[in-house]
Amino acid sequence: MGSVAFDAEDRWNAFITICRRAGHGDGPLAGVPVAVKDIISTAGIQTTCGSLVLKGYVPPYDAHVVELVKAAGAAVVGKTNMDEFGMGTTTESSAFGPTTNPVDTTRVPGGSSGGSAAAVASGMVPMALGTDTGGSIRCPAAFCGIVGLKPTYGRVSRYGLVAYANSLEGIGPMAGNVEDVSRLFSVIAGPDARDATSIDRPYTHTPSSDRIRGLRIGVPAEFFGEGVDPAVAERVRAAIGDLADLGAEIVECSMPSMAFALAAYYVTCTSEASSNLARFDGVRYGPDIVSKRSWHEAYQEHRREHLGKEVRRRIMLGTFALSAGYYGKYYAKAQEARKNVGEDFARLFADVDVIAGPTMPTTAFALGEKTADPLSMYLADILTVPANLAGVPAISVPCGTVNGLPVGLQLIGRHCEEELIIDAACAYEEAQR
């Protein structure tokens, strides 16, 4: 891919910081502008996580993925908007204002990597890096009509990623098509000694549609259950039918652990957030504490003023789940439920090669539609969180529209079998041309 012009006119508030930089060298991404979610550290470029508590913070080092992207010749042209600390499904909780969906600016782009998705969907950049803790790459990919990959946990280094929920989150590629997602993934995948969770599995695959013939695709009934818009379900069922027409074998199946996956996810991620976000105390990063009150009172005041409502809500939920007398009732049980999700995937993958279903239960919400009802926003993650709980890879590929709004087809694979789900996504994408 050659050099691509970067349109700095950001009508969607996709970026928090725009950089006018050029790529260099002759690597696989030479001259390609790449946007980076603002939760990934970039040397010399402000990294805010969408929060006032980090406004003005400039990291002294690059994240591992940024090092790799630069070494491949790409230009990091900006840091994209996001839900504060990755906590959201709409990119409305950013301290720097909401991002809008380029398909329909009255709609949200999804979250929390909504800025990266909007930057790609609008044509500002061909590729972007996002992060996915419970669907934060796949949700905006589905809502904006692009492709997004959540890799296997550990296949991409998390060094330089500002931690929200360590055991769940990861960095992944977003682009307008499967080939570009594959190209960016080939650059960022692989081991890193600075990340203890990193695994030695580089990615050197070239996408091919040939493997779709004979592929066994499992379709869990629970992926089309309560809360899934019938029109979205119909569109995704049609897409799965297209895969069957290409030679895949469709296997109807069941995943009972879906009944408690969402609860297990939110107990786990809020508990980890409660611990991780304790570091933002006004001493080390961001705006200084200016107060004549006692340290305890000043600390509370600083966090109340600089952390948004959703972040404070999740910190409190996690602190409660970890507190004495409740740890066993909530956190320990959530880990048992998480184990059951992993066991369900293992059971299904003994019989099928890929699992398919909708990425999101609905199309993109209207701006402001869910902000007053956090529970309904949490429920929107029901189809994406299982892959994070199990650490398996998942990709969202556009599969048409409902009332003019994009719908995503989600394909989930075994650990470290990104190659297979990328090939299946490639086969579907090619068949739609």
Residues designated catalytic: 37, 112, 136
Question: Which of 78, 53, 49 has its CA nearest to residue 66?
Answer: 78
Distances (CA, A) of 274 to 49, 162, 180, 219, 397: 16, 14, 36, 35, 33
Strand order of the β-sheet with 170-175 is 15-18, 75-80, 33-37, 127-132, 170-175, 147-150, 394-402, 405-412, 354-358, 216-220, 249-253
Nearest to 301 by CA among 312, 291, 311: 291
SS3 content of the chain, % helix, strand, coil (to 5): 35, 15, 45
- Tell me the backbone φ, ψ of residue 156, rounded to 5 degrees: -120, 130
Element (H, E) at 336: helix 331-349
- Cα Rg of the chain (Å, integer): 20
3-state secondary structure of 115: helix
Of the candidates 405, 404, 355, the one whose C-alpha atom is nearest the C-alpha of residue 243 is 355
Question: What is the DSSP annotation of 47-113?
Answer: --TT-GGGTT---SS--HHHHHHHHTT-EEEEEE--SGGG--SSS-S-TT----BTTBTTB---SSS
Single out the residue of 384, 391, 378 nearest to residue 343, CA to CA: 391
112 cis-preceded (ω within 30 degrees of 0) = yes
**Residue written as tokens 């692989």?**
190
170: closest CA among 37, 280, 262, 57? 37
Please say whether the dihedral angle defined by the alpha carbons of residues 171, 418, 397 and 28, taken in this order, is positive or negative.
positive
